[in-house]
Structure 1
Amino acid sequence: GPQWLGEHFLQDHWVLAVSGTHGKTTTASMLAWILEAAGMSPGFLIGGVPGNFAVSARVGESVFFVVEADEYDTAFFDKRSKFVHYRPRTLVMNNLEFDHADIFPDLAAIQTQFHHLVRTVPAEGLIIYPEAERNLAGVLERGCWTPCETTGEGGLWSVRMVSGDGSAFHVLHDDELQGRVQWSQVGQHNIANALAAIAAARHVGVRPEQACEALCEFAGVARRMELLADIAGVRVYDDFAHHPTAIATTLAGLRKKVGDEKILAVIEPRSNTMKLGVHRESLAAATDEADQVFWYQPEGLDWSLTEVVASGSAAARVIASLDELVAKTLAEARSPCHILIMSNGGFGGFHRRLVTELNAVCEPN
């Protein structure tokens, strides 16, 4: 587990850890790829599969090791967050919101764990976080003895947009141009992830210009706005979003990319936090950028999805059967259309069934 990894392997490495409520997997994947493109052959342990590597973990051939640092507890008998075992020299903190309601009573409890993490970073290390993240500023105000660099508006690292959807932008350090990124990703969240990765890579000696060039070849991460199929003008995407903020950000990124074309969101509220109903007040508004939303009502949800989603501006309906969900989604799939499936689980094979049925419907006679 995390403790063994920290004690027996990571202590001999320069650890670059990526933490936060959202964007850990994507940012860690970007960072590992930047170091790889710079010839550093880093090791990594990531909670998803980066498209540039096709594996989620490897030992690597250098002192550098990128780890996705999760705040979830280490084990049922060790309630410390996993990330306190990693002792990073370079720490990225992406953002901080209330999540994991099954183990944390409130935001302050999560901030305490993040402060434990901050205290493990040595004085000669570096902590990178967004200037605008008040919840993270609250963590650092409890005491920080490590240099910090900030990203985003008002931060040391910032961007100048080239395209509105985030597929091209200039990177600035202290208001000086460092390079340009033109890539296959979209959305403000991915730009924020990129800035953190570029800043972290510079800490281990990669020039920002080099990092920008590497990101132009970044292949994304499985299940992060991953295009599963493009069938007769109907595009099907898979995304891991399982928190209202992530749902809203992912939809906003897609909306900027596709303009007025129809977006149909299909969402399974599956995470432990979702099932407990912690975020239900903000769920409906999270889907405002969609034209239509189908919510899947999983078993064991002890609150009413129907009542909650009725307040949103997008046309929404709650469906309790996978067969009906496939049928209703097919009925709405008229070109041009973008179907965004959001779940942090397997969704009962829904993705595969939908794509198979779409292929059957759209096959030329």
Structure 2
Amino acid sequence: MRAGAGAFDHRCLSVSDHGDNHDAQRQSVWLNNSIHIAGIGGTFMAGLALIAREAGFEVSGCDQAIYPPMSDLLASQGIAAEEGYEPGFLDSGKAPDLFVIGNALSRGNPLVEAILNQRLAYTSGAQWLRETLIPQKRVLAIAGTHGKTTASSICAFLLHACGLEPGFLIGGVPGNFDVSARLGAGDWFVIEADEYDTAFFDKRSKFLHYRPDVLMIGNLEFDHADIFDSIADIEKQFQYLLRSVPANGTVVINADQPGLSDLLARGCWSQVIRYSCTDAPADWRAVALQPDCRRFDVYCENHHVATVEWPLMGQHNLQNAIGAIAASHTAGAKPEDACAALAEFRSPKRRLERVNPESSIALFDDFAHHPTAVRETLKSLRSCDSQGKVIAVLEPRSNTMKQGFHRPELAQALSLADVAIVRRHDDLNWDPEELTRLKDGDKIMVCNSNTQIVDAVCGVVEAGDRVVMMSNGSFDGLRDLLAAQLN
């Protein structure tokens, strides 16, 4: 460990230098210094707030709007979070020692402009972690286009179950912990490593700040069309990430994703461990024993380790599990203990989350917002024993979805449902009606409101059916509306 286990050394903490910032931003950050987190309502920044508070900092924050569960979580930890970005509090002499600025804020934001005009110290969330926490921990980072939250949750849970007392920062609400982030008393820190940009003043991917000792990459596809022009742009960021893993570190890679092997071929200087759920050459392998993948065998170098029974379903979750077993083993978890612990793992919120367990019509809430994730979610529901219909309800809310990328792939993914309903929004750069005219679009209908969606679902649903809502947003409260009707 880079410092004594459980001992958080504030003496080594310093604010980052952004190159063109003033010398004041290179000041030391000491115990009980105050930080104000702008954009605190997001899962990453809220998690950062929890860690800072646990480490002894005085923490406050603001966001345009703050919703549960993050608002409740912050309040439970005594962290004051205000709505809005008005900088008036700076005039009363209440400026914090440091502002931590989220990537949702840009030039023109009133608080950002006030910080710049008054030459106040600021940094990004990712850089704050790098300068404060990461020097004292060993980092296990989980990257990829899909599945990061689930895989990160599994890794953190397995290390916890094996007695390693990890810290973690997860971009969701894990099912086995009461918080999304924790400092941790042990050597290891598990972090969901996002490829999205860092801040308005730092357009590098956030994960380039994390300096992982162990890096797990599950997949790589085009996404985030608002900041990346092509898959090549994203691959470049992942190449930089691979370069940051030391030679005595480890890269844990999904052998079932050919593109990742191509990525490694462009340059990797670390030990590589491969995992697979197929016949691809790999060090670790999971073999499903039933169609829904809730029971599977684990092999390490062709030696049987354990048979696992766990509550998650689907091939994509099987990949998350075997990857997390491999990564946690690299961090010191015993494979047999890790496999046994999976029986107690609970999925993060909104990852195929069953909303109404008592109803004869199953309603699921899922975060899928990419055709691949939509496909895997629907395949998982198809793998269940139920003979009922699968009804998919999709909100195209991500920036990539809003711009209309992947339309043929999206129609193909939705064709796995018996009925697919797509919500039309005014801010879309395309008309979802186009999906109905594509080769695989004959099962798709388009609705203009949640009221129409509820009526459409209730018009076709029967006992034994499975309904899944898919969005990376709130879906304007559809979850509660549908649950009330289906119950």
TM bucket, shorter chain: over 0.9
| Contact 1:292/1:314, CA 8 A, preserved across alignment | no
- The answer on 1:103 being equivalent to 2:227 is yes
**Which range is displaced more, 229-238 or 202-211?**
229-238
Query: For 1:352-363, what aligned pairs fall within 5 Å after superposition?
Result: 352-359=480-487
Aligned residue number for residue 478 of structure 2: 350
Q: Structure with the greater relative contact order (CA < 8 A, sep ≥ 6): 1 or 2?
A: 1
Aligned residue number for residue 307 of structure 1: 434
Aligned residue number for residue 174 of structure 1: 301
| Contact 2:391/2:465, CA 8 A, preserved across alignment | yes
- Residue from 330, 335, 343 that aligns with 2:458: 330
- Residue from 395, 404, 407 that aligns with 1:268: 395
Give, in whole Å, the separation in 1 of the partners of 2:320 and 2:442: 28
Query: For 1:152-301, what aligned pairs fall within 5 Å after superposition?
Result: 152=276, 153=278, 154=280, 155-230=282-357, 232-301=359-428
Give, in whole Å, the separation in 2 of the partners of 1:297 and 1:230: 29
Q: What amino acid maps onto 1:346 in structure 2?
A: S
Deviation at 1:231, TM superposition (A): 5.1
Q: What amino acid maps onto 1:93 in structure 2?
A: I
Q: What amino acid maps onto 1:38 in structure 2?
A: C
Q: What amino acid maps onto 1:247 in structure 2?
A: V
| Contact 1:263/1:337, CA 8 A, preserved across alignment | yes
Give, in whole Å, the separation in 2 of the partners of 1:132 and 1:313: 28
Choose 1 or 2 for highest CA Rg.
Answer: 2
Give, in whole Å, the separation in 1 of the partners of 2:304 and 2:442: 40
Aligned residue number for residue 132 of structure 2: 8
Aligned residue number for residue 155 of structure 2: 31
How many aligned residue pairs are there? 359
Secondary structure in structure 2 of the residue aligned to 1:181: strand
Give, in whole Å, the separation in 2 of the partners of 1:106 and 1:138: 16
Give, in whole Å, the separation in 2 of the partners of 1:187 and 1:313: 24
Deviation at 1:232, TM superposition (A): 4.2
Secondary structure in structure 2 of the residue aligned to 1:229: coil
Give, in whole Å, the separation in 1 of the partners of 2:290 and 2:256: 22
Give, in whole Å, the separation in 1 of the partners of 2:388 and 2:463: 9
**CA deviation profile, 1:211-259 (whole Å, cap 9, x unmatched):** 1111111111100000001454111000000000000001001100144
| Contact 1:290/1:314, CA 8 A, preserved across alignment | no
| Contact 1:284/1:310, CA 8 A, preserved across alignment | no
Unaligned residue ranges in structure 2 (runs of 5+): 1-124
**CA deviation profile, 1:110-166 (whole Å, cap 9, x unmatched):** 011001110111111100111132222222122111010111132111122211210
Identical columns (%): 45
Give, in whole Å, the separation in 1 of the partners of 2:167 and 2:370: 29
- The answer on 1:67 being equivalent to 2:195 is no
Aligned residue number for residue 84 of structure 2: none
- The answer on 1:19 being equivalent to 2:19 is no
Secondary structure in structure 2 of the residue aligned to 1:289: coil
Unaligned residue ranges in structure 1 (runs of 5+): 360-365
Normalised TM-score (structure 1): 0.96
| Contact 2:414/2:444, CA 8 A, preserved across alignment | no
**Which range is displaced more, 332-341 or 240-249?**
332-341
Q: What amino acid maps onto 1:350 in structure 2?
A: L
Give, in whole Å, the separation in 1 of the partners of 2:436 and 2:397: 16
- The answer on 1:319 being equivalent to 2:443 is no
Deviation at 1:304, TM superposition (A): 2.0
Q: What amino acid maps onto 2:483 in structure 1?
A: V
Deviation at 1:331, TM superposition (A): 2.2
Aligned residue number for residue 363 of structure 1: none
| Contact 1:167/1:183, CA 8 A, preserved across alignment | yes
Aligned Cα root-mean-square deviation (Å) = 1.2
Q: What amino acid maps onto 2:450 in structure 1?
A: L
**CA deviation profile, 1:258-306 (whole Å, cap 9, x unmatched):** 4431111010011000001111121110012211011111121121211
